[in-house]
Amino acid sequence: MPLGKTRLSTTDTLAFVALILAMLGIAAVLIQPAYPEASVSLYRTILWCCVIVAALSVAFLLWHHVVQPRLKGRQLDPFLALAIGASFVAFVSLAIYAVRGSQGGGFGRSNTSTTQTSDQPELSLLPPKNRLTFKWDPTTAMYFDVQEDGVARPPGQWAFPTLILHNSSKVAAADVVVTWDAEISGIKELAKIGRLAKYDIRFPENYTMDLIASPPVPNFRYNPNSHYENSLAFVARNADLYMPPSIFAILGLFIAAKMPDELGAKTEVFPLRIEVVWNVPDGGQPKDFNVKIRGVNTKPSGVVTPEVVGYLDFEIEK
- Tell me if 67 is assigned to some domain: yes
Domain that holds residue 132: 121-317
pLDDT of the residue at 109: 44
Residues of the chain with pLDDT under 50: 1-6, 34-38, 104-117
Where a domain ends, among 71, 88, 110?
110
User: pTM for the whole thing?
Assistant: 0.64
Q: How far from each other are the two terminal CA atoms of the chain, in whole angstroms? A: 76
- Tell me if 2 is assigned to some domain: no
Where a domain ends, among 82, 110, 138?
110
- Tell me if 35 is assigned to some domain: yes
pLDDT of the residue at 93: 66
Say if CB 225 and CB 207 are below 8 A apart. yes
| Separation between Cα atoms, residue 184 and residue 177, nearest integer Å | 22
Give yes or no: residues 97 and 41 share one domain.
yes
Give yes or no: residues 34 and 54 share one domain.
yes
Task: For residue range 24-48, list pLDDT tens digits in order.
Answer: 765 665 555 544 444 555 556 666 6
Number of domains in the chain: 2
Task: For residue range 126-166, list pLDDT tens digits in order.
Answer: 999 999 999 999 999 999 999 999 888 888 889 999 999 99
- Tell me if 1 is assigned to some domain: no
Give the residue from 201, 249, 196 showing the smallest Cα distance to 222: 249
Give yes or no: residues 137 and 211 share one domain.
yes
- Tell me if 12 is assigned to some domain: yes
